[in-house]
Amino acid sequence: MRVTAERSVCVGAGLCALTAPDVFDQDDDDGLVKVLAAEPGAGSADAVREAVNICPSGAVAFTE
């Protein structure tokens, strides 16, 4: 799994960081998404999928 985030699309809702905190965080300066683990382990896969599904702006994505 490979995780990506489009900061220019992010609205700073923070749902990704709440749902998959080992993979996503929010920048302290602007509150926008930061990817902490671009290739998270299999144990994070369900949380990443959920974070992608609930992101209100569609800023986060993954590929298998």
13: region left, alpha or beta (phi > 0 left; psi from -120 to 50 alpha): alpha
Cβ neighbors of 19 (< 8 A, separation 6 or more) are 47, 50, 51, 54
**Into how many domains does the chain fold?**
1
Looking up residue 17, the CATH number of its domain turns out to be: 3.30.70.20
Q: What is the pLDDT of residue 37?
A: 98
Predicted confidence at residue 46, as pLDDT, reads 97
pLDDT per residue, tens digit, the chain (64 aa), is: 999 999 999 999 999 999 999 999 999 999 999 999 999 999 999 999 999 999 999 999 999 9
Query: What is the per-residue DSSP string for the chain?
Result: -EEEE-TTT-----HHHHH-TTTEEE-TTT--EEES-SS--GGGHHHHHHHHHH-SS--EEEE-
What is the reported pLDDT for 24? 98
Domain ranges, residue 16: 2-63
